[in-house]
A and B are shown apart, each in its own frame.
Chain A
Amino acid sequence: MRNQKIVIVENEARERVHLKDLLSNGSYDVIDFSNSLAAVQWIQRNGSPLLLIIELKSIPLNALQTIDYLRTELAMEHPILIVIENKLDPQVADKKMQGYLRKPYTAESILKMEDFLKTVSQSDKELSSRNYSLEYLEELGDGNREIIIESLILFKESVTLKLQEMQKRLACRELEEVRKIAHNIKPSFAMLHNQKGRELCNTLMDSTKDLDIPKLVNELKLEFEMIQSQLAVDFSEEFG
């Protein structure tokens, strides 16, 4: 059973206080730690929190080690947001990750967190840590597992290539091409019921200002990496 606390693990005192203030102003019940192990011990004693916000570079266990420990050793599942620096860090995506926040913490971080919590609460406990659903492919395949696996492999291979191309086009400032690629891969996210990827593609295609495109491309890459991480967990034989 979850308690209603939000647990923060943040190394830097100033940042920690700032995030705590932002959350407290939003009427959230917050407990903060500079040390990830202390947070784990608190969770062990008090049960799963409403949310754990943990900095990627937390100490002595970093965020990924902490998540592994909570899930594997303590068998505790709860929503977790990892805090990353502005730069995309590939090691984050290698692990099962539900969502992320970027520093610096602002009012927008709280809105993002609230959106994340809404999404999580809409799903049942079993599905809350998943970034995709097989519902569509199951309907299409009508019991044929082969088509599901083939489609997932195609998703991984084709979207990887398209995102690489998107990055190259972005580097060359060929923004119209970036929009075309977003159009191309949008159905792939939609077929896995990944709403965030689908919306990011929509925004890239239609309504965004050129200046926002690099950030959106990064978000899309992260979302894709999160789906891949989840697939690696769920289909270890094919994707592990």
Chain B
Amino acid sequence: MKKRILVIEDNPMVVKSLEFKLNKEGYEVFTAVDGRNAMEQLEAENFDLILTDLMLPFVSGSQLIEHIKKQFPSIPVIVLSSATQENIITDAFTMGVDDFITKPFSPNELALRVKRTLGKI
């Protein structure tokens, strides 16, 4: 059975590239363009992994991660970050995220990190 990944990201080019690469790697990909929609999908569906940006409309990345870690503690989280967000990334790790990838991600690095994170489950 395919692993299910929720991508929470509001840049359509990044979403497209993630979908393309992750589908190619054999994962089932779901997308949410803001934190509110992500929360709705999390309530309705089961996911094996979450990839999320930290600056999202309606719900901040920190709030979203806090929510995920509280309500769905078994789902690993990889943060999609910008290179200039060191402080935010540090905070995210403090909240328990599993890894981070800098946008735009290297396609092969993404595949490796996703595989590694899912392998920990």
Contact = CB atoms under 8 A, between A and B. Distances in A.
Q: Verify that A and B bind, or say they do not.
A: yes
Contact of A187 (B13, B24, B107): B13
A231 to B, nearest CB: 14
Contacts of A18: none
Contacts of A190: 103-104
Contact of B84 (A141, A150, A187, A206): A206
B55 interface: yes
Interface residues of B, number: 17
A145 interface: no
18 contacts: A141-B20, A147-B16, A147-B20, A150-B16, A151-B13, A151-B16, A155-B13, A158-B11, A158-B13, A180-B55, A183-B55, A184-B11, A187-B82, A187-B103, A188-B13, A188-B14, A190-B104, A202-B84
B21 interface: yes
Nearest to A180: B55
B71 interface: no
Interface in A130-182: 136, 139-142, 144, 147, 150-151, 154-155, 158, 180
A19 interface: no
A202 B10 CA distance: 17
A227 interface: no
A191 interface: yes
Contact of B10 (A144, A154, A184): A184
Contact of B104 (A142, A144, A150, A187): A187
Interface string B59-87: 00000000000000000000000101000
B20 to A, nearest CB: 5
A205 interface: yes
B29 to A, nearest CB: 14
Contact of B20 (A140, A188, A191): A140
Contacts of B119: none
